[in-house]
Structure 1
Amino acid sequence: MLKQERADFILRRLEELYPETPVPLDHTSPFTLLVAVLLSAQCTDARVNLVTPRLFALADEPQAMSQLEVPVIQEAIKSCGLAPKKAKAISGLSHILMEKFDGQVPRTLAELETLPGVGHKTASVVVAQAFGEPAFPVDTHIHRLAQRWKLTSGKNVVETERDLKKLFPRESWNKLHLQIIFYGRDACTARGCDGTVCEICRTLFPKRKKGIETKKS
C-alpha cells in the first residue's frame, strides 16, 4: 500500500471500530477541560478523573480557582504526577484568565499557549474538544502508532502532527485523534504490539517480520 492508501484504510477501519468517541477526561466546561488536560501530562486519564472531582468541588471556574492558595490546589491533585508544578500552573492560568480574558478560556491556539503549563498539545485538545475547531493533538500514543503505520518519519510530535494533517481530511482530525488513542490503548499498546501483532499493523504490513522500534517524541 502507498502511504495515502494506508491512511485511507486506517480512517475507515477506526470509524468502524470507534464510531463514538467520548472525551476521556471528565469535564463540564472549557475551563474544567483545560485543567483536566493539563493534569493528564505524565498521568493517566483514569487517575485524572479520580482527582478532578475533589479539585472542582473547591473551584470549577477561573475566579474561584484564582482565589485558592497553591498548596490547597496541590493537596487536591497530589496523586497526579508533577503536582507542585501543575498546581502553580493551574493557579497562574486562572489569574491570567481573569486578568486578560474576562474569565473565559480563549478559543485560539496562540492565546491558549500563552497560559502557564499549556503547551501545543494541551491547547490543541481544548480547541478541538471544547470548541470544535479542527486540530490534531498528537501525544505519545499517536506518535508511536503513526511510526508503526509508516505515516510519518517525524522525530517528534510536532513533525508527526504536520505529516498526519497532510494525510487525513481536516474534518476528521478531531475525532480521529481520539480514535487512534483508543486503538492504541486497546490493541496496539507499547508492549502488546511492535508493529507486527495487532489487526491494523498486520493488515497494512502482512509481510513485516521484524518489529518497529519507534523513536521517542
Structure 2
Amino acid sequence: MNLEAVLKSRAEESCELCHSTDELRVYGVPPEESTAPENNILVCTKCDAQLQKKEQLDAAHWKILSETMWSEIPAVQVVAWRMLNRLQHESWAADNLDILYLSEEDLAWAKKTGDHENDGFVQFHVDSLGAQLAEGDTVVLTKTLDVKGSTIKATLGTVVKNIHLVHDNTEQIEGKVEGQTIVILTKYLRKNNA
C-alpha cells in the first residue's frame, strides 16, 4: 500500500487537522524527510497552503485544532503545536497551547524548524495592483527605471520573464533586462497574466 493510501485509511479519508474531505494530499512534517507514515499527515488544500505559508492564516479555520490536537499521531500533535504557536495572539490558541502536552522527543521535533517563533502573518511579494507574485512569474514594468551602476534603462512596458523573489525583502524581485540581472521594486511592476 502506498503512503497516501495508508494515511487515508488512518485518517478515515479526511484532513487530520480540520476534518475536511476536499482535495486531500500528503504533507511531510518538516524537517523529517521520510516516507514513513509516522512522519506524514493527510491535509486538505487549505491547511496545506497555510502550513506552507502560501496564504495568510485564517484563524477561524484553525479553531478545530481544539479537537484535533488530541490526536494520538505525533506528527499531527507537532503540526498542531506549531500552528497554535503561530496563532498564539488568539486567546483560544494560547489557551490550547497551555494544555497541549507533547513528549520531550515530539516537542524537540516541533521546535526544529523554528516555525513556532514566527507569528501567523505571512508577507508575500505583490505587484503594484496587489496581485501575489511567485517564483518564475513574468512581469511588466509600469515605470521607466534607471538602473544604478549601469547604462541600461528599463523602460515602461518592458517584459521581465522568469523573475526571482528576493526572500529577505518582499518589496524586491530580481529579473533580467537586456541580459543583465537587476533588482526591481515590486511597486513598479505588474504581473503579466497573458
| Category of TM-score, reference length = shorter chain | under 0.3
TM-score by length of 1: 0.24
1 or 2 for the larger relative contact order (CA 8 Å, sep ≥6)? 1
Give the structure with the higher percent helix: 1
